[in-house]
């Protein structure tokens, strides 16, 4: 989750720290009842966001210049225009300004280089001031009127002196944005336990809530280290198969349930839904049986 940071010195009115989503249409967009809705995505973010246009000649993959709450941004069309009349309600959106021009692409490429240099300048200032901040990335808006610097920290940071120092060096509006560990992993990337690039760094646009109950639902050993991702939180892939496991578990005995098998009493200690194997244990014996056989035993005991 992105945490809002609002400590801006009163004398620094030319600086910004609004830390809102760059696509926060509800707070800063306009109401439209005519025209078209166009899906747009941005570099480093697989999710599509929706913008307004009175034109419907945009194609997938086409570069467009849009207005966001951060400022002017360059994005790519991911969903071609659809008439607003196809949607119910009075929609609140921000506008697509125009299709990109050669100068926009040039500015965007120059901004990437300049942002990398600005990040180094910021790192020097952070070290000089002894701040507990891990700088992750920096981005200029398309017109280079503002730079957004993203960082992570275990604690709240008083960065007022940092803003003063950066203002004299970068000569533009500055936004410092603190993010959590999951967003940090999304930016940095890496390989998951499956050997593939992290989902958050490739295709996940938003983070769903992940609970330990999802691991229990899949009969996984509750080893927090093995169930945690690079961010230190529970791995997102626990969510992917949770609905399927919930469906497959309906009617199954619970872990710890006692059953009689071959004239002995056992406890159900594990169930593997994929292999349909069940592990039964007591003090003297361990048995592995087929899931169907277990269900027959449980049902016969119910009918007695």
- My answer on whether 96 and 157 are in the same domain is no
DSSP 8-class letter at 236 = G
- My answer on whether 242 and 273 are in the same domain is no
Name the pLDDT band for 243 (thresholds 50, 70, 90).
confident
Closest CA to 260 of 299, 209, 211, 222: 299
Name the pLDDT band for 74 (thresholds 50, 70, 90).
very high
- My answer on whether 115 and 85 are in the same domain is no
Q: The CATH number of the domain where 170 resides is what? A: 3.30.300
- My answer on whether 8 and 111 are in the same domain is yes
Q: Tell me how many domains the chain contains.
A: 4
> What pLDDT is stored for residue 260 in this prediction?
83
- My answer on whether 212 and 279 are in the same domain is no
- Averaged pLDDT, 283-295: 83
- My answer on whether 69 and 111 are in the same domain is no
- My answer on whether 120 and 80 are in the same domain is no
Tell me: pLDDT of 96 over 90. yes
DSSP reduced 3-state for 92: strand
Strand runs labelled E in 84-156: 91-99, 134-140, 146-152
Q: Structural domain of residue 173, as residue ranges?
A: 2-16+106-182
- My answer on whether 163 and 201 are in the same domain is no
Tell me: pLDDT of 299 over 80. no
Tell me: pLDDT of 7 over 70. no
> What pLDDT is stored for residue 28 in this prediction?
57
Q: What is the signed CA dihedral for 68, 69, 70, 73, rounded to 10 degrees? A: 0
């Amino acid at each position: 989750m992105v945490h809002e940071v609002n400590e801006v010195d009163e004398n620094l009115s030319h600086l910004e720290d609004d830390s809102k989503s760059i696509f926060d249409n509800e707070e800063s967009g306009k109401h439209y009842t005519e025209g078209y809705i166009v899906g747009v995505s941005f570099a480093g973010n697989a999710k599509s966001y929706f913008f307004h246009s009175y034109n419907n000649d945009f194609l997938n993959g086409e570069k467009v210049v849009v207005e966001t709450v951060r400022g002017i941004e360059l994005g790519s069309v991911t969903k071609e225009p659809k008439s607003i009349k196809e949607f119910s309600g009075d929609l609140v959106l921000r506008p697509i300004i125009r299709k990109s021009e050669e100068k926009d692409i040039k500015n965007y490429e120059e901004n990437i280089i300049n942002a990398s240099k600005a990040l180094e300048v910021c790192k020097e200032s952070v070290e000089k001031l002894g701040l507990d901040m891990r700088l992750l990335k920096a981005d200029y808006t398309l017109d280079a009127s503002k730079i957004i610097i993203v960082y992570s920290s275990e604690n709240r940071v008083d960065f007022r002196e940092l803003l003063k120092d950066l203002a004299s060096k970068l000569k533009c509006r500055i936004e410092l944005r603190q993010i959590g560990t999951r967003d940090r992993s999304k930016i940095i990337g890496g390989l998951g336990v499956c050997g593939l690039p992290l989902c958050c760094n490739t295709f996940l646009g938003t983070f769903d809530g992940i609970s330990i109950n999802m691991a229990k639902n899949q009969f996984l050993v509750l080893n927090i280290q093995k169930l945690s991702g690079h961010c230190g939180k529970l791995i997102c892939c626990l969510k992917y198969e949770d609905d399927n496991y919930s469906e497959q578990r309906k009617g199954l005995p619970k872990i710890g349930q006692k059953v009689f098998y071959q004239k002995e009493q056992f406890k159900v200690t594990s169930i593997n839904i994929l292999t349909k194997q069940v592990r039964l244990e007591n003090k003297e014996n361990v048995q592995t049986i087929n899931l169907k056989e277990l269900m027959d035993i449980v049902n016969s005991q119910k009918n007695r």
